[in-house]
Amino acid sequence: MPTRALGPFEVSAIGLGCMNLSHAYGQPPSREQAAALLHRALDLGVTLLDTAALYGFGANETLVGEVLASQRDRFVLASKCGMQGVDGVRVIDGRPETIQATCEDSLRRLRTDVIDLYQLHRWDKQVPIEDSVGALADLVRAGKIRSIGLSEVSAPTLRRAHAVHPIASVQSEYSLWTRNPEIAVLQACRELGTAFIAFSPVGRGFLTDVALDPAAFDAKDIRRAMPRFTPSHLAANAALLTGLREVAHEAGCTLAQLALAWLLARGEHIVPIPGTTSIAHLEENLGALPITLSPAQLARLDHLMPPSAIHGGRYSTQNQSEVDTEEF
């Protein structure tokens, strides 16, 4: 298993986003199915598992803790604070006292005495980033967490945070159809020695060989509120996949593997964390690791799917207002 640096850790070059096992895309799998997938990921050499207090309003951390507490030394545990469920409602709260309380709750659910990478899920714009990162730094000094990450922040915010305490990682959406990190934050990460964790690296299922039908999405599927998944936008975006499939065929891989191989080629500091509920898809995703795309193929992919060709925003107006990332 090839590895990449993430703060003080060496982690598998492809990690696992655990959100899907409890949250976001409709009915989650059974506990038995989720446990089987987590165990299979470890057996295949995945050493970065990413969860959050938000996912399932604590259920995802509880799942990871119950299933893997006895194997805690086999993986780097990443979780998030600053956005969680309060009385059944999603709340962004980056106040130091809330971060400290959330960490205690996460440690209990995860059945561990330390979280390896604790990330601010969203910057609460009512709280200076320096205050939130200061609270995380206090948790490092207390031995509750080992390193600090941020999610969905811009390059200037990253630099402000890094001045308070070294930032091990920035986690944001990044894929062939979401190129916003290329505006500034990827370069800022390179300069600061910060890893970049790419979530939704296969476009929430768009960059796969499975044709998506918005009408078939579960009522609780978060893609229903995302503009680029509306039928008209999705149809326009799907037309872009024809050229990508040609490159995948030439490279001898699936579309998902192509998307992951492209990401891995964008920089040694990038660690994709595809999520899935399927062991077959987990194995398919890890099959991207030995694929090396030629400079000509990488250039073709950039030409086939530039940011200007994508129809629809990635978030609703409300959710977009909650992130700090640069936008095209």
Residue 6 burial by Cβ neighbours in a 10 Å radius (0-12, 13-18, 19+): buried
**Dihedral of CA 21/22/24/30: which sign?**
positive
Check residue 82 and give its pLDDT.
97
Instruction: State pLDDT tens for residues 125-169.
Output: 999 999 999 999 999 999 999 999 999 999 999 999 999 999 999
Enumerate residue ranges in the chain where pLDDT < 50.
none
Q: What residue type is assigned to position 191 of the chain?
A: E
Check residue 23 and give its pLDDT.
86
**DSSP per-residue string spanning 134-189:** HHHHHHHHTTSEEEEEEES--HHHHHHHHHHS---EEEEE-BTTB-GGGGTHHHHH
DSSP 8: T
Tokens of 49: 């598992």
| Contacting residues for 139 by C-beta, under 8 A, at least 6 apart | 99, 100, 103, 118, 145
Tell which residue, 22, 9, 326, has the closest CA to residue 174.
326
Instruction: State pLDDT tens for residues 102-135.
Output: 999 999 999 999 999 999 999 999 999 999 999 9
Within a 13 Å sphere around the CA of 317, how many CA atoms are in the beta-carbon half?
0
Tell which residue, 203, 135, 128, 119, has the closest CA to residue 167.
119
Please, what CATH class does the domain formed by 3-205+263-290 belong to?
alpha beta
Longest Cα–Cα distance of the chain, Å, equals: 53
Catalytic pick from 25, 55, 118, 174? 55
Check residue 11 and give its pLDDT.
98
Tell me the whole-structure pTM to 2 decimals: 0.97
Cα separations in angstroms, 93 against 122, 127, 163, 252, 286: 8, 8, 22, 46, 35
Q: Is 25 noted as a catalytic residue in this protein?
A: no
Helix (H, G, I), strand (E, B) or coil at 217: coil
- Collect contacts of 317-323 with beta carbons under 8 A, ≥24 apart: 319/225, 322/92, 322/122, 323/122, 323/152
Check residue 123 and give its pLDDT.
98
Helix (H, G, I), strand (E, B) or coil at 218: coil
Check residue 98 and give its pLDDT.
98
Helix, strand, coil in percent for the chain, rounding step 5: 45, 20, 35
H or E, element range at 17: strand 16-17
Tokens of 84: 């969680």
* Contact by Cβ (8 Å): 75, 49: yes
Check residue 284 and give its pLDDT.
98
